[in-house]
Structure 1
């Protein structure tokens, strides 16, 4: 009899971390009574949910803590057997996630949580795949600066727009993408918003700015016309924004974003996935600062679309 194979099961989780009393990072390891194992918080994706949203929700549900997502820690795969005996493969995406409040309360899925230094956590974890994720977490300092680089959502076609191209607005699908970004971007803890001075760019992030109660600061050197005469000025401005700390959101255009990411990656040696910038897409750029110097790109993760029905690519 042929074995029945189910489609892959998508899931997401995080290395949830905080500073201990001595200023060193510690991570959360949870115990699941159903499996009697110690693991990183994670869980299956719900229908209509993006992978980052799954990671944030599962961390909240299993630990009681509110996470702020950061860089991707990669993807692991392993075989599973469903309750009815069918074979499948589980695919789990992980993020670094800083604690932003909350409290652990034992629940049906998780009956114990321990805060441990990464070395102690690696010993306690039951799965080697979790140790691999923890290794990715410790490869960089935990407190990297996140800059969220967004390409504007879909706009009406240029050849059908008779007015000034700077004023070309979002299309109906673009409005949907902007609404999805309004839900996605807060998972990463943004605190201010910048945009190229194009209506389609500002419309993409105006909902987020409204929710945060902050203005949209226009950045002419991050528009296509402003960037290409002097690309170094645009890259420099992006680094200035990152150097201010916090988690800025920057909305730019498709003719700028791949070049900026390539330049930053080449300068620092950071690995990146294929350099793309689909409309409505997001680059999660993680920067480190050594000795108070200029920010250096340490990681770059690409999310092809904020809409859950579309493929999400990550490094």
Structure 2
């Protein structure tokens, strides 16, 4: 068996159909750069998993001191995240092995500027979300199209030579098309099984990202649960409240949701039978050229009348083929998510459930594996307080 040092050198020369596939724009391989970055890795405010971290037992005499130390560390990490003035996004791009469909490979990119092996990532463009930036960076650096899955982690680290902190959100991303062409940022792309990728990566930070990727299955189904966009205030609307439409900002939210939902591979659209819910996903349905399936059991009234039926309907939708988008209301989604999480042993983080926000649910055999909450793609002041 090869030792770690030898394995690192040989991984770059892996042959297609064996340990990995190398796609190169250079004639000779270069040694991977191994300088380390100090980094703070965290799951981010919207990520949670089905397995809460283990807690080590401590003696009563040490508990107070440990609690203070842990609080200090958490505050330091939160401060670093809050102070980050460079916001970026990236992905662990993966595919099923061409020679073994039961095995997965991840893509590593070589950046000639730094002579390192890492994952595709980059800074957000003006008014861009982390979701859309992740898809764009994958396409620009690798040439591949992808479908996002679960959020993996968030890392924050100092930028060498600058008094700045960089924050990067990472997603699992499955290849859906395209192909690699060397470019000014990336001259080589290497497909490797995860065991070899861990050794090939240049930075400990990226190895932590890959371990987050490996923590749960990635070959899962996805359901997107969306709260309707802003629709003014109910007390100011004259008429049947079931027909209350989106207001101007709500229409902007609905438009901004389209690329967000498409980034996760949306294929089918469902909606509570309320005008504001239907209008929230109508532009997505138009983009997909599909009709919207109305879901009376997932309106506030329908759900309140029979929660068991509403929950059963949501689970049935989640088990259908494709990526299902379901638009519902503010008094349905939190209760439904808490029930689902309790049933399948998932710990939910705090989520403000703003209008235009969504849950990305990753499921396997009908069981919830992970869920990520993503706020409205528009600024917070657009969220409003009305129902």
Shift, 1:272, TM fit: 2.4
Q: Distance in 2 between matches of 1:310 and 1:13?
A: 23
Alignment of 1:47-86 (within 5 A): 47-81=126-160, 85-86=161-162
Give me the TM-score of the superposition, normalised by structure 2. Answer: 0.75
Rounded to whole Å, the distance in 2 between the matches of 1:247 and 1:271 is: 23
Give the Cα–Cα distance (whole angstroms) in 2 for the partners of residues 166 and 194 of structure 1: 17
Report the CA distance shift for 1:207/1:136 in structure 2 as closer, same or farther (over 3 A): same
Whether the 8 Å CA contact 2:269–2:285 is kept in 1: the answer is yes
Alpha-carbon contact 1:25-1:142 (below 8 Å) kept: no
Q: Distance in 2 between matches of 1:268 and 1:276?
A: 22
Q: Choose between structure 1 and 2 for higher RCO, CA contacts under 8 A separated by at least 6 residues.
A: 2
Q: Deviations over 1:94-149 (max 9, x none)?
A: 00101010000011100100111111111100111111111111111111111000
Superposed displacement of residue 74, structure 1: 1.3
2:90 maps to 1:19: no
Equivalent runs, 1:28-177 vs 2, <5 Å? 28-81=107-160, 85-177=161-253
User: Do the aligned residues in 1 keep the contact of 2:147 with 2:264 (CA within 8 Å)?
Assistant: yes
User: Would you say 1:301 and 2:372 are equivalent positions?
Assistant: yes
Q: What SS does structure 2 have at the residue aligned with 1:26?
A: strand
Residues 265 and 297 in structure 1, CA contact (< 8 A), matched pair in contact too:
yes
CA distance 1:288–1:202, change in 2 (3 Å): same
Higher strand share: 1
Separation in structure 1 between the aligned mates of residue 128 and residue 232 of structure 2, nearest angstrom: 27
Deviations 1:258-280 (A, max 9, x none): 11111111111123221431111
2:272 corresponds to which residue?
196
Matched residue, 2:67 = none
1:215 to 291, 304, 309: 291
- Secondary structure of 2:305's aligned partner: coil
The match for 2:258 is 182
Shift of 1:44: 0.7
**1:88, distance to aligned residue in structure 2 (A):** 0.9
The aligned counterpart of 2:357 is 281
Give structure 1 stretches of 5+ with no counterpart: 1-5, 290-294
**Take 1:245 and 1:73, find their aligned partners in 2: how far apart are those partners?**
24
The answer as to whether partners of 1:261 and 1:275 remain within 8 angstroms in 2 is no
2:271, 2:294 within 8 Å by CA — same for their partners in 1? yes
Aligned residue-pair number? 297
Separation in structure 2 between the aligned mates of residue 86 and residue 288 of structure 1, nearest angstrom = 43
User: Counterpart of 1:245?
Assistant: 321
TM-score (norm. length: structure 1): 0.92
* Gap runs ≥5 in structure 2: 1-82, 382-387
Deviation digits for residues 200-257 of structure 1, max 9, x if unmatched? Answer: 0000000000110110000011111001122121111111111113110000000000
Provide closer, same or farther for how the CA distance between residues 104 and 310 of structure 1 changes in structure 2, counting only shifts above 3 A: farther
Larger radius of gyration: 2
- The residue matched to 1:93 in structure 2 has which SS? strand
